[in-house]
Amino acid sequence: MSAVRRLASALLPDVVAEPLRRLLRRLAVARFRSYDARHLYDGRSLVVRIADPLAQEWYDHDGTLSTEILLLRERGRLRAGARVFDVGAHQGVVALLLAGLVGPEGAVVAVEAVAHNARLARRNAEANGLAQIRVVHAAIADAEGTLWFEDRWNGAVSRRPGVGVEVDAVTIDALAVRCGAPDVLFVDVEGFELHALRGAARTLAAHQPDLFVEAHVGCGLERFGTVADLLALIPSGYSVFVAPGEAGDFVPLADGRPLLSARCRVVALSPRIPEITRHD
């Protein structure tokens, strides 16, 4: 199946290849025998629905907290009672971990553009009894409206209008009005991170949430700008740290600038003193 997808991508224009890729993916989902997997994530037993090959690769094993979550928990505002926006939530597994840290008195707003993934994120939240997770099926953007989105296992905003599926687009600023201001922004949007932060300008200025961004340098970010553009969107006064893309510890930006030449992870801690807040 993957060979057919590669051949379609190489030989067919996007307007033809993209519907073919969607059809092949739907056939793969239909043929996949879904099952529930129970694993320990940071010592917590969680049930995750495995409904496609990528989920099987990513989630059918025990896991630990990523170094960005550890940094946000130990030095920032990720704690009981916090409200977190998990933007680019995929099937909600990171949202499950975040929900365990904020507890039932906190909230996690999980935003995911691929309908298949959003359905599974809701199912995973319900299966684990985590009512503090709210799943929003939409693409994050710098303006309200709609976007064309590649309907893949791990989708991204389409390179060409009219190619893919059209989904609702929301901004972080609008979500903050609807759901309450976040204490933490957790952003992994496959190269669209500049748009996500531009759509969070009012929230960053007024509420100063802690921030995690996966910077897709060399794999999508350059379609829209540079990592310097991304850093410029972080308000002054934040303490900025950077780490390699897949794993590894965070170091202060002054020491980690060489890491910015490739895919990397950025954490920006608010200048505000961390508070324990309670959210209804």
pLDDT in tens, 221-236: 999 999 999 999 999 9
Q: Is 79 helix (H, G, I), strand (E, B) or coil?
A: coil
Give the angle 153-132-235 at the CA atoms, nearest 5°: 75
Range name among 16-25, 139-148, 158-167 with the lowest pLDDT average: 16-25
CATH number, domain 65-269: 3.40.50.150
Q: Are 51 and 29 in contact (CB under 8 A)?
A: yes
Domain coordinates of the chain in residue numbers?
A: 1-31, 65-269
Burial class (CB in 10 A: 0-12, 13-18, 19+), 183: buried
Write the pLDDT tens digit of every residue in 248-275: 999 999 999 999 999 999 999 999 876 6
pLDDT in tens, 31-83: 899 999 999 988 899 999 999 999 999 999 999 999 999 999 999 999 999 99
Radius of gyration in angstroms for the set of CA atoms belonging to the chain, rounded to a whole number: 18
Q: Is the pLDDT of residue 162 over 90?
A: no
Let me know how long the chain is.
280
270 burial via Cβ count (<10 Å: 0-12, 13-18, 19+): buried
147 pLDDT more than 60? yes
